[in-house]
Amino acid sequence: MKRPTQPLAALIIAGGRGTRFWPEARSHRPKPLFRFDGERSLLEDTIARVQPRIPSERIFVLVAADQARAFKRALKGLLPAANLIVEPEGRGTAVAIAYGTAIIGHRVGPEVIVAIMPADHFVPEAEAFSRTIGEASELARREHAIVVIGVTPTRPETGYGYQQIGRAIGAGFQVARFVEKPDAARARRMVRSGRYLWNAGIFVMSLTTLRRELDQHAPALAAMMDRFGAMKPAELGRVYHRLVFDSFDRVVAEKSRRLLGVRARFTWNDVGSWEGLWAAMRGESHSVVTGQVVALHSSGVLARGGKRLMVLLGVEDLVAIDTEDALLIAHKSRSQEVGQVLDELKRRGLHSFL
C-alpha cells in the first residue's frame, strides 16, 4: 500500500520589534510589518514565498499578545483569521515552536510536518525558496529528523550563526555542529573552508519528531504540548509565564542526534539594520533611494523619503529616513546603534515616538 502523504504546514514566527529600524519600525508597527521596498511587508513576502507549496489554510502566524492587534489588521484578507496564533507573552523560540506546532497539530492533524521560519528575512527568490522547503520536508519525513536550512555564505559575517556540513544523507547532510557568531578571524577560516553554511533559522520537522526531541531534551515542555490546545486563556497565561527555556537552537537543535541540513537554493539576508538593508537591496548601485528623494553627487546612501521632498547633495555612506513625525540621519556604519536613540527618547519622556 502507498503511504499517505503527510500534510505540510508553515509556522511563521513574527517576533521582535525591530528597534534598529526606527523611525519606520515602532511599537505599533514591528519589523515584520515593515515594507522594505515600499510595497509589500516582510510578513506579506514570507507568506507569498510559502503559498505555492502550502495552501493558505495551513499557513499560521505566531505573535505575542501585545502585538496581536497590529498583526490581525495586517493579515486581513491574506490568511484565515483563526490562523493567527497568539502567545500570552514572548518566551523565546523553544516555547514558541512548541506552542505553535501544538496548535497546528490540533487544527491540521498529528501527522503534520511543519516548516518553521521567521517573518522578517529578506529572500528575493520565492520559487527557489519553495523548492528548498520541499526538499527539506521530504528529508524530514523520510529520515524522521529535524532539518535546518543552511545558506552558502557570501562573506565572513560575525553576526550570524554557522552550521558545519557533515556526511551526506540523501539530498542533505548531517549537521556536525553549530558555531554561534564567531570572531572575524574564525569566520574567515570557516568561509574559506567551504564546510560551513549560515544558519538561516528555518527548521522543518514533523510534530512527532519534535515531540520525541522535546521528550529527550525538555520533557516539561513536551508535556505542555499535550495540554496547550485545551487550555482556556487564563490558565494558558499562568502556565506560559512559568515556562523558562532558552532558544530552540540551544534547547533542541544543538543537542539532537537527528539533526540534518539542506543547502538553500536561494539567496538570503537576515536584514538586521539599515546598513544591512542597503547591502541587501543595492544590487549594482551604490545607493538605495525610495520615495521623494533626489540624490546628487552622493554614494553609498540609503534614503527613504516621506511626503516632503528630500534632497541629498554631496554626501556618502548616509542613512536618511523620513516619516510623518520623525527624521533619522545617521552614518551608515553606525546604524546598528539606532537602538540607543530609543533609549534616549525614553529618557526624555518622548514615548509617542517609540
Looking at residue 3, its pLDDT comes to 47
Looking at residue 2, its pLDDT comes to 44
Contact between residue 47 and residue 33 where contact means Cβ atoms under 8 Å apart = no
Q: What is the pLDDT of residues 247-295, one digit of tens each?
A: 999 999 999 999 999 999 998 988 878 988 888 888 667 899 999 999 9
Nearest to 160 by CA among 128, 121, 218: 121
Least confident of 115-119, 228-232, 289-293, 300-304: 228-232
Looking at residue 140, its pLDDT comes to 97
Mean pLDDT across 164-181:
94
Least confident of 15-19, 101-105, 146-150: 15-19
Least confident of 20-24, 101-105, 141-145, 170-174: 20-24
For every residue of the chain, which 3-state class applies, written as one string?
Answer: CCCCCCCEEEEEECCCCCHHHCCCCECCECHHHCCCCCCCCHHHHHHHHHCCCCCHHHEEEEEEHHHHHHHHHHHCCCCCHHHEEEECCCCCHHHHHHHHHHHHHHHHCCCCEEEEEECCCECCCHHHHHHHHHHHHHHHHHHCCEEEEEECCCCCCCCCEEEEEEEEECCEEEEEEEEECCCHHHHHHHHHHCCEEEEEEEEEEEHHHHHHHHHHHCHHHHHHHHHHCCCCHHHHHHHHHCCCCCCHHHHHHCCCCCEEEEECCCCCECCCCHHHHHHHHCCCCCCEEECCEEEECCECCEEECCCCCEEEECCECEEEEECCCCEEEEEHHHHHHCHHHHHHHHHCCCHHHC
Euclidean distance between CA atoms 32 and 25, whole angstroms? 9
Nearest to 331 by CA among 320, 342, 343: 320
Q: How far apart are the first and last CA of the chain?
A: 59
Mean pLDDT across 195-206:
96
Here the cell at position 101 is 506546532
Which domains, and CATH codes, for the chain? 8-263 (3.90.550.10), 274-353 (no CATH)
Q: What is the pLDDT of residues 209-221, one digit of tens each?
A: 999 999 999 999 9
Work out the mean pLDDT of the chain and round it to a whole number.
92
Mean pLDDT across 80-109:
95
In order of 18, 205, 289, the CA distances from 168 in angstroms are 37, 18, 44
